[in-house]
Structure 1
């Protein structure tokens, strides 16, 4: 079994980027290649090129690397900071984050850019949950009663979430996790419920053999990795931070239509 700390940065990227890529939401069209790289544990120039094709995630990796003095955007420390969370994120200056957001999203958002800038000033950092709650348009749709159920589902599936394996059924695992809910005023984490997620395909996946009690990360419909206690704390920390920022202005947050 290969743990998070043993895989390379490109491999870790493949584990988390594959689920939305398989659904056609972001990245290059050849999602099977990404899965094969991740499940085989092979890293070469082809995998690096695939990672660069994620026009939503790649600039964040560049920002983290540049802001922390790490040369390679696919260094494992950088990739882990973006998807899971790390103290590295708090070493990046607010100015650098704000400038990156302006370069990427000012032209797309016009006057609404001020709301994205407020999220940065409030403590937003280049973690995937920042992109989900502050950049994507879904939080801004919560005030529309017709669109709110879909928005909540997408927010919950798109963020990196955590849970505990209850049982394994072939290529799927039943995982107990806390979904996001919307009460008409704020987003919050509900009490744990069981969900079924893919963990392998024809016996091949990213995490090896799961057993009940494993704490795992999930993205969309897929189990991405096992989490150490420290990783779990980081993921919870940055998720809570960006949920809180989003809740300070639900009617304005999530106004930038971004590529995932």
Structure 2
């Protein structure tokens, strides 16, 4: 008797939807008709993911370079959002060439900084996209630092420790992005309050004090294992280092 067909592994699809929900819901990226990304089926998320002009090129290039057929495989999605993982084993020069060939063509003349000069900063993750590809870090130091700094801090995925969770709010300790006029750095942990529920949606329904979580655009988007916490921290520190080298020039 033949074995029953295996259910598709949609863990990567589910993670993509959770981490992409906040910027999509706020209208920053992805298809507007799926502002309710949380309610979409796995098939709908797979279709929508191709229209995230930031994340999708990374997942496609990662898929080709690793030989993993599904760009929304959990190993690729986790590596993109948090850093490290399977993407950390790839040749950074080859990844840079492949990625810039794709996103440089998509961006056209509006983002002229997407050249080979960016290769030293390239990493196969979202943190590089925020600091290296998006133009905001290049607007620092021109007399209007508050707006680009706020966007950089909200757009990067940050790690946070849950210190209390009551009702619709959650208090966390997280490190804030700072700019001293010369370089970017992270503050000591500071307490901040987040809305745990967003129009009836909560990415992690059973938050508990002591949980390490990921935060994107002011929304908790997932619980972090110790290994994931370390990958996210390390990829962030690495990106700030290479970005500061560019800003220093």
CA contact (8 A) 2:121 2:243 kept: no
Which residue of structure 2 aligns with residue 28 of structure 1? 31
What CA deviation, in whole Å up to 9, does each residue of 1:111-149 have, x standing for no partner? Answer: 6334xx3332x252120000000011110011112x211
- Larger Cα-atom Rg: 2
Assess, with a 3 A threshold, how the Cα gap between structure 1 residues 179 and 155 changes in structure 2: closer, same or farther.
same
Of the two structures, which has the highest relative contact order with CA contacts closer than 8 Å and spacing of 6 or more? 1
Assess, with a 3 A threshold, how the Cα gap between structure 1 residues 162 and 74 changes in structure 2: closer, same or farther.
same
What's the TM-score, normalizing by structure 2? 0.88
Distance 2:124 2:100 in 1: 10
What's the TM-score, normalizing by structure 1? 0.85
Which residue of structure 1 aligns with residue 123 of structure 2? 125
Distance 1:54 1:158 in 2: 14
Which of 42, 46, 68 is residue 44 of structure 2 equivalent to? 46
- Local SS of the residue matching 2:32: coil
RMSD: 2.0
- Local SS of the residue matching 1:166: strand
- Local SS of the residue matching 1:248: helix
2:216 is the counterpart of 1:219? yes
Distance 1:201 1:153 in 2: 21
Structure 1: segments with no counterpart, 5+ residues:
1-5, 253-260
- Local SS of the residue matching 1:192: strand
Distance 1:7 1:167 in 2: 31
Structure 2: segments with no counterpart, 5+ residues:
1-8
Which of 155, 169, 177 is residue 180 of structure 1 equivalent to? 177
Assess, with a 3 A threshold, how the Cα gap between structure 1 residues 182 and 124 changes in structure 2: closer, same or farther.
same
